[in-house]
Amino acid sequence: MGHGSSKEESESSLAGSEKSARGSRRSRLKQRLHLHSRAKSVSHHKRLDDAGDFAGIALLTLVQAEMKFKDKWLACLAFGEQTFRTNISPQTDKPVWNSEKKLLLEKNGPHLARISIFETNKMSRNNLVGYCEIDLLEFLARDSDSNSETLDLLNPSTSDKIVGKICVSCSVEDPIETEKSFARRILSIVDYNEDGNLSFSEFSDLINAFGNQVAANKKEEIFKAADKNGDGVVSMDELAALLAIQQEKEPLMNCCPVCGETLEVSDKLNYMIHLTLCFDEGTGKQVMTGGFLTDKQASYGWMFKLSEWAHVSSYDIGLNSGSSAAHIVVFDRRTKRLVEELIDEKIVLSMRAIYQSKLGLGLLDTGAKELLQSISEKQGRKMNSVESAKDIPKFDQINLADVKHPLEHFKTFNEFFVRELKPGARPIACMDRDDVAVCAADSRLMAFKSVDESLRFWIKGRKFSIHGLLGKDQCSSGFIDGSLVIFRLAPQDYHRFHFPVSGTIQKIVNIPGCLYTVNPIAVNSKYCNVFTENKRVVSIISTAEFGKVAFVAIGATMVGSVTFSKKEGDHIKKGEEFGYFSFGGSTVICVFEKDAIEIDEDLLSNSARSLETLVSVGMKLGVPKKQAKTGLPNLEKCVLQD
């Protein structure tokens, strides 16, 4: 009895040990599946709402480059709202990366990829040396037997200078081959002896790790179907093909084994897209690292990761709080890509100190407002002097190809700053149709259906109101709950503003005020109201399609003056020039009457994320609300590009 008891205990212990070993092995397997996942880049894949918009999954590979000098090189790939980076090459003038990334292509989604090359010989900052852009849909549609092409790398300061070349490869995966490839990669995780064959025990571990009880009950049946000769093992290719077929009939996974996100098995397209893109993050191959918003952020490398961990800097989509954001990231409507606005760090710190604290605003109230006025007037005089012309070549953040006159034409810096563009440089969407409103300036745009929404997502000043913005004599009852569109101009922008609608100028009224900065850090301040306290000019435009539209040109720090090229009583056409800001950045605000305009959905959705949209003069803004409800005519001629 005693021995019997010991034997039972021993067998029980052995069984428990085996069970524990299996459990431990299963835990290790799950850990391996999650080991390489990068939460920022894989846990929120974009969902396709319309299967008809699916163009394929592109496999883009950055192969190698030829540069003008030797260094350690890093390549970044920006596509849509994601940016990826390669490893850093050894010291060479011909870096080889062979780094690949799979990208979801949509017919109406982002398809312009930007490749940036950085030299990494400095510890704290990497230098952008060259870049190129590639339209993936056009690249894949070209008549060529080769998937590869060598592209010129352009100088970021002047696009007419070539600084190197890069070889890229791009192809579209067949959905069936994508599924088989996915199955091969995931099965390789449980091929413990790496012989290319799986035993039933290895396959069983994989199915159990999925946590799908239905699949667990069928694993023996599936395995036997693949084991044609009955020797207890199957080849990787045979099992991969069988799994791909089974996944089409009845998916084996209810959740992603990499990021853990629950998958809707009924939505086969999104299911396949998610697994394909997500699993690539953990393959251990030369897959580019993700989790970045812009190429500048990606180029920081470990320094960025360290600062993020230490809360020294804060990168996020949108600017929810001016006091916590060290960088401004905006969405480029033309390229459908996130870009970073360059602001000197010292200026950011000083703006925070002034506009994000009661103490800072208290200083403004005790004389600094007059100081801002004095500085702006002094700077205006300086920019109008002949000596200021020497600073024109240093201002290299613009596209000179669009400028109407050569640089030697400008006798002062301010003449250059208010430069005109060549005819046709800014196409006007649906020029012959007054029922399509357009963007008024090259700017960063925020659009809201109502003032309440603007206060919730962007303007944090406690006392902001349409009445305060327009003034009591210009603010009719229709504007009170109307739609608001904010066009913020940065110093590097084209500084002439244009009419968003066609109609007649009823009145132009000057409202005196301060010259606060219009940077989002100030706009997001809860201690001051930039838009209602700054010097501004309010124009009321009467239109047939949109009712009355209030057009507000707001002065700001360093803006010496606002000049108008039209006057009261003039009949105007959308897209025509209305005026310009002298040196500095500033803002135009358009207020539409309640229920007068249906603003484009992409502009509203970005604004609801506190994300500014980078737009150009003439891009489509919206249509009359009544027209949007009854259905739109053909708008194919409307253009979005610069």
Better-scored residue on pLDDT, 371 or 493: 493
Could you give the C-alpha distances from 264 to 39, 174, 215, 249, in angstroms and in order?
A: 20, 22, 16, 14
**pLDDT tens digits, one per residue of 274-285:** 777 776 654 445
Nearest to 69 by CA among 96, 95, 98, 97: 95
Q: Name the least confident of 82-86, 298-302, 509-513.
A: 298-302
Distance CA 269, CA 474 (A): 53
User: What beta strand segments (E) does 6-140 contain?
Assistant: 54-67, 73-79, 82-85, 96-106, 112-119, 127-135
Q: How far is CA 256 from its chain centroid?
A: 25
- Please state, for a pLDDT cut of 90, what percent of the chain lies above it: 31
- Has 442 been annotated as catalytic? yes
Rg of the Cα trace of the chain? 30
Which of 501, 525, 514, 598 has its CA nearest to residue 556?
514
pTM: predicted TM-score of the whole model, two decimal places: 0.74
The chain-wide mean pLDDT, for the chain, equals 77
Lowest mean pLDDT among 293-297, 615-619, 635-639: 635-639
- 108-120 per-position pLDDT tens digit: 889 999 999 999 8
Query: Which position has the token pair 């299967």?
Result: 51
Q: What is the pLDDT of residues 457-482, one digit of tens each?
A: 787 766 788 988 998 888 888 898 89
Tell me whether residue 586 is one of the annotated catalytic residues. Answer: yes
Percent of the chain scored above 70 by pLDDT? 65
Among residues 490, 484, 500, the alpha carbon closest in space to that of 439 is found at 500
Through-space distance between the first and last CA atoms of the chain, rounded to whole angstroms: 91
Asked if residue 322 has pLDDT above 60, the reply is: no
* Alpha carbon distance 96, 76 (integer Å): 14
The H or E element containing residue 259 is: none
pLDDT in tens, 523-540: 766 666 778 778 889 999
Reading the block at residue 580, the tokens are 């310009």
Instruction: Considering only residues 222 and 105, tell me which one the structure prediction assigns the higher pLDDT.
Output: 105
Topology of 311-384+426-626 in CATH? Glucose Permease (Domain IIA) (2.70.70)
Which residues does residue 341 pair with via DSSP β-bridges, in sequence order?
A: 328
Map tokens 């606060």 to a residue: 516
User: Pairing mode, if any, of strands 483-488 and 82-85?
Assistant: unpaired
Contact present, 395 and 416 (Cβ < 8 Å): yes
User: Are the CB atoms for 597 and 626 separated by under 8 Å?
Assistant: no
> pLDDT (tens digit, 9 = 90+) per residue, 386-430?
887 777 776 666 778 888 988 888 888 888 888 999 999 999 999
Please pick, among 45, 111, 495, 498, the residue that the annotation labels catalytic. 498
Overall average pLDDT of the 498-514 stretch: 93
**At 585, is the pLDDT very low, low, confident or very high (cuts 50, 70, 90)?**
low
CB 641 within 8 A of CB 334: yes
Fold of 176-279: Recoverin; domain 1 (1.10.238)
Q: Any idea which architecture 56-172 has in CATH?
A: Sandwich (2.60)
Instruction: Examine the pLDDT at 305 and tell me if it is beyond 80.
Output: no
Cα–Cα distance measured from residue 582 to residue 189, given in angstroms and rounded to the nearest whole number: 63
Closest C-alpha among 79, 203, 187 to residue 133 = 79
Cβ neighbours of 495 (radius 10 Å): 24
What are the tens digits of pLDDT across the range 163-196?
999 999 998 876 666 666 666 776 777 778 778 7
Bridge partner residues of 624 (DSSP) = 597
Catalytic residue among 181, 586, 610, 616: 586
20-79 residue pLDDT tens:
544 554 454 444 444 333 333 334 456 666 667 777 788 899 999 999 999 999 999 999
Encode 468-502 in three state secondary structure: HHHCCCCCCHHHHCCEEEEEECCCCCCCEEECCCC
Q: Residue 51's pLDDT is what? A: 63
Considering 227, 295, 435, 442, which one is annotated as catalytic?
442
**For the chain, which residues make up each domain, given as ranges?**
56-172, 176-279, 311-384+426-626
Residue 634 has pLDDT above 80, yes or no: no
Interval 235-246: pLDDT, tens: 777 776 776 666
Mean pLDDT (whole number) for 1-25: 45
